[in-house]
Structure 1
């Protein structure tokens, strides 16, 4: 009887003991906190990568628009394959941290006014990156109405050109497919050529390796 009384007393005391409640509650909530933390980290990383993809598009279009500015000859400069390759290689270096060259694609087009028809066309186009993507507007030699998304279209002025960059990137998640899958970023940028440029021959030189075919 005494043993039963002692056991009953201990069970009653155990029922009143709340010293482990906080630890138990923390153990129950910990998986939720970890999941939210990982999800927040993934979202922040996605935003960072998307911003960097946008910066690549801007730098490609901007740098391409400046080609020939340092040419001091009396002859209006053309754009060479080497110059375009330098612009694109610089952009690929920007994306080294997230393996852009393997999972991305740069498409640089020269949007110009067709002197014969008065319309717009893609005079030349160069690409780089292993991602299989084509321009959303057409290929080299195609006639187009304009380039750009609805409400943000651009056309080339007479006697000049617009350097139009399209950049795609297949996002590589930090935590696999836990929070996201098959996410592709797409950014565009356009700059009018900054200086006189001889547009007639298109791209000169023979050492280019950035064909879109």
Structure 2
């Protein structure tokens, strides 16, 4: 009480000098001032790291699907190996396991296309299969695009269009995923991340169609 009275009756000049020399609780005050900026910086860094990792994972997903689809086949005695609907589903099952923590089935889509040549030597999406519950579609065409003629240029972004030579086939994969920010929705907008990959079919196999012998499965059509 005496100290409080002494401060109350102290001239304003002396009071300001005393406050200027008082360094108690400076650290607490500095922390209180800087903490909001540190939190924004930390959470923003986490958001950027998460986005960067997501780009890498989706890119690896596209490569893995293209690679696995280019290798899968069922040997046939006395004939060319078949590529089956069962093989397609197995490829997509492997993809779902690799991104199981991303809720990919409800937020993304994998589009697998077989790029081949038609009877005129033009580029042709002979068949197309999809996995994922979203409505994203291929940016280059649906199944059957380029079935006749030579007007279809191929698949891929401008300047990086991929074409195939007869009698081969390319497994072209498109991955689309709706990215939802963890913390800063006003800065990191919800957007669709797209990745692509392509692989030549590695070994000889029947390219006329996708077969569905026993065990028959439901085709993962788009």
Q: TM-score, normalised by structure 1?
A: 0.90
Residue 210 (1) aligns with residue 220 (2): yes
Contact 1:111 1:161 in 2 (8 A): yes
Residues 3 and 112 of structure 1: is their aligned pair in 2 closer, same or farther, counting only changes over 3 Å?
closer
- Paired residue for 1:163? 171
Question: Which position in structure 2 is the counterpart of 1:14?
Answer: 19
* Residue 208 (structure 1) shift: 2.8
Is residue 2:117 matched to residue 1:113? yes
Q: Which runs of 5+ in 2 are unaligned?
A: 147-151
The worse-fitting range, judged by mean Cα deviation, of 146-155 and 156-165 is 146-155
CA contact (8 A) 2:170 2:200 kept: yes
Alignment match, 2:47 = 42
| Distance (whole Å) between structure 1 residues aligned to residue 184 and residue 108 of structure 2 | 18
Do the aligned partners of residues 6 and 108 (structure 1) sit closer, same or farther apart at CA in structure 2, a change above 3 Å counting? same
**What SS does structure 2 have at the residue aligned with 1:30?**
helix
Alignment-derived partner of residue 92 in structure 1: 96
Pair 1:191-2:199 in alignment: yes
The aligned counterpart of 1:132 is 135
TM-superposed deviation, 1:128:
1.0
Once the two structures are TM-superposed, the CA of residue 126 in structure 1 deviates from its matched residue by 0.2
Query: More deviation in 57-66 or 8-17?
Result: 8-17
> Runs of at least 4 residues of structure 1 off by over 6 A?
none
SS of aligned partner of 1:177: coil
Match of 2:67 among 56, 62, 66: 62
Q: Give 1:31's match in structure 2, choosing from 15, 26, 36.
A: 36
Please say if residues 95 and 101 of structure 1, whose CA atoms lie closer than 8 Å, have aligned partners that are also in contact.
no
> How many pairs does the alignment contain?
208
* Closer, same or farther: CA 207–14 of 1 in aligned 2, 3 Å: same
CA deviation map 1:17-74 (0-9, x unaligned):
1233332122111101100100000000011111111111001100000012x62733
Structure 1 stretch displaced more, 38-47 or 5-14: 5-14
Query: Please, what is the CA RMSD of the aligned residues?
Result: 2.1
Is the contact made by 1:160 and 1:197 (CA closer than 8 Å) also made in structure 2? no
For structure 1, which runs of at least 5 residues remain unmatched after alignment? Answer: none
